Amino acid sequence: MRRTVKDTEESARKVRRRAFLMGSAMGAFVAVLGARMRFLSVEQADEFRLLAEENRVNIRLIPPNRGQIHDRNGKLIAGNEQNYRVVITREEAGDVEHVLRRLAAIVPLSEDEIARTLRESERRSSFVPIIVADRLSWTDFSKIALNAPSLPGVTPEVGLSRIYPLDTDFAHVVGYVGPVSEKDLAGMESPDPVLQIPKFQIGKIGVERWREDALRGRAGQKRIEVNHVGRVMRELGRIEGDPGDDLRLTIDAEIQNFTQVRLGEESAAVVAMDVETGDLLSIVSSPSFDPNLFVRGISQKDYSSLMENDHRPLADKTVQGVYPPGSTFKMVTALAALEAGVVGTGSGVYCPGYYELGGRRFACWKRGGHGTLSLNEALAQSCDVYFYETAVKVGIDKIAEMGRKLGLGIKHDLPMSAIAAGVMPDKAWKMESYGQEWRIGDTVNASIGQGYVLTSPLQLAVMTARLASGRSVVPRLVRGVGTDDMPIPEAPPLDIPAEYLNAARKGMYEVMNGARGTAKSSRIVDPTMVMAGKTGTAQVHSYGTGERDNKLLPWHLRDHALFVCYAPYDKPKVAVSVVVEHGGGGSAVAAPIGRDVLLRCLTGGIPPLAAYPEAQRARIETQFKEMKLRDIADPVPGRSRA
C-alpha cells in the first residue's frame, strides 16, 4: 500500500522531533561532562596532583645517631661503631636458597642462619630486604662486595651499632640497648615514629633507659620513588635528622675500674661520693657482666650462666640491694639521742655484755662487756649495749626522723634502674605494713641497724657525706648534657647542731685511729688524708649454739660486712660506703676495701704505700702489682658516623 504525501510528511516531522530531542539530550550530557572535566582538571588540579604524588613518593625515616656517654674526664663509656651487615631482597634474588648457598661459600653462614633467612623472606613482601648476617668483619664484608655481581639480590650495608668499650666496669650504671619490644611501646603514651623502624634499639636499663629521650635524637627523612607494588625505584632527596645528645657522667672511669678490680670476685657494692657536690665518683656492683652481649643478642648459655650465678651479676647491688646496715647505723641512733637530750657527749653507759628487757637479754658483740663508755668510746668500740639503752629512751620515731634526715629510707633520684627506697621504720610504718603495734624490742634491734632497718649502699654513702659535710647533699650522676653542664644543687645545712655532728665525727675518727678502734688496722697514716669511718656486721642468720664462726657456715648464711668512711677528717672531700655480701666482719673485709677506694679518689692514682701502716706496705704493694687494671684510652674525638 502506497503512503500518501501527508503520511510521509508526518513521519518526517516525527523523525526531526526525535532527532532534536536526542541531540538536545546528548548536548546537555556533553556540556555536563565538559563542566565536570573542567572542574577536575582545573579547579581540583592541585589536590589530584598531590594524591598522585603520594601514590608515587614515600617518606621514610632515617634513624638518628645515638648520643655517646663519657666519664667526667671525657673518656668514652658508650659509643657507636660501624656495623657491617648483608641483606637479601627476594624479588631480586629469585631463588633465595640458591643465592644463600653461594653466599655461604664466600663467608661463614650456618644452616640455622640460612633457615632463618628463608623463613623471614617468606613472611615479608618480596621487595623488603632481609638481614642475613650482622656484625661482619671487614674482610667478609669486602668479599661480599667483590662478589656482588654473582650474588643477585645480596647487598652489603654499613650502619651504626652500640658498643661499650669498658664493658663490665659500667654495665650496671650505663646499662645497654636492645630492640624495641611490644612491651616498650605499650608503656609509652605517644611513641616516637622512629621506634617503628625494624631492629631500632632503645635503652633497656640504667642511664641508657632513663636518659633515652636525650640520647635517641630526632629521626631524619628521605623521599623515595616507588612503583605500584611499593618497590623502591630511586631516592629523590633526604633531610638529615639530629643526633642524640652526648652525656657526661660524674664517674671517673679509672676510679671505677680500680674499684671493680679491687672487689675481685666478691659479691659486693661500693659507692664513692664527693661530699661537697654529691657527684658519684664511683658506683660499682660486683660481679658484673658484659653489656655488649645483650646488644649483639645474648645466647641462652650466657644468659643462663648469669641467672644461675648465686652472686647475682645482673643485679645492681648499689641501688637495688638493701641490707641491714648493722653498726654503721649507730651514728643515727647517737645523733637522735643527743638531739633528744637523753645522753651527752661525755655521759657514760655501763655495758655488762648484755641489755635486759622484759626478761629477754640482748647481747653485745663483746660477751664480757665493755664497762662504762662515753659516746666516743661506744662508737669506737661499737658497743651494742650503749645504743640499746639510749634507743629505748629516745624512741623509734625520733631515730627514724634522724635516719631520713641523713638520707636513709629515701629513694634518691638518679637515672638508674630499680632504685630501692629501703626501710627506715617507725611506729606508723609497722602498723601500715604489718597491722601490728611497734614493740620496744623492735627499737632495740633497730638501734644497731638490725630488725626492720634496710639500707642501700647508695644511701649509706649519702648518710656519710651528710655527716662529713653537715649539709643535705644529694647524689648526682649526670654532669652534663651536650655542651651544657648540669647545675649543682645547693645543699642546705642539716638541721642538726654542729656540736652533735662533731661528736659523731669524733667517734668515727676514734674507730679508725683510737687505741681500741674496731678498724684501727685499716687506718691511713698520712696526716693529710686521715680518715674517719665506721664498721658494721649485719647478721643474716639466727645463730645456734656453736655457730658464731662465719667461716663454718655456708656462704649464703654468713654475715654481711659493711663499712662507711670519709677523708680527710679535718676537711672532708670524699665519702665511701662498702657492702660485701656474706663477707663476715666489716673491720676485716669491708674496711680495707673502703680505705683503698678512698685513697684512690683522693690521690688520683694508685694509692701511695706511705699512706699505709708500715707493717702492711709489703702486702699492699704485692696486692697492687697483682691487680689487672684496665688501660683506659684517652677521650675519643668526634662521633662515629656511618
Tracing cell 628463608 back to the chain, one arrives at 118
Tracing cell 654532669 back to the chain, one arrives at 479
What is the rounded distance in angstroms from the CA atom of residue 89 to the CA atom of residue 126? 7
Backbone angles phi and psi of 368, in degrees to 5 = -80, -5
What is the rounded distance in angstroms from the CA atom of residue 559 to the CA atom of residue 577? 17
Mapping DSSP to helix (H, G, I), strand (E, B) and coil, where does residue 580 land?
A: strand
DSSP label at residue 484: E
What is the rounded distance in angstroms from the CA atom of residue 374 to the CA atom of residue 344? 9
Mapping DSSP to helix (H, G, I), strand (E, B) and coil, where does residue 83 land?
A: strand
Nearest Cα residue to 328 out of 422, 261, 415: 422
* Vertex 636: Cα angle to 630 and 641 (nearest 5): 125
Q: 455, 565 in Cβ contact below 8 A?
A: no
Residue among 121, 267, 288, 327 flagged as catalytic: 327
Amino acid, single-letter form, for residue 478 = V
Q: Which residues of 558-589 are buried (b: 16+ CB within 10 A; e: fewer)?
A: bbbbbbbbbbbbeebbbbbbbbbbbbbbbbbb
> What is the layout of strands, in order, in the sheet containing 574-580?
280-286, 268-274, 574-580, 560-567, 532-538
- The kind and range of the H/E element at 247 are strand 247-249
Distance of CA 429 to the CA centre of its chain: 29
327 tagged catalytic: yes
Q: 308, 190 in Cβ contact below 8 A?
A: no
CA dihedral 179, 183, 188, 189 (to 10 degrees): 140
DSSP letters for 279-294 = BEEEEEEES---THHH
- β-strands 247-249, 69-70: how paired? parallel
Mapping DSSP to helix (H, G, I), strand (E, B) and coil, where does residue 148 land?
A: helix
* Helical ranges in 297-374 per DSSP H: 300-307, 330-340
Catalytic residue positions?
327
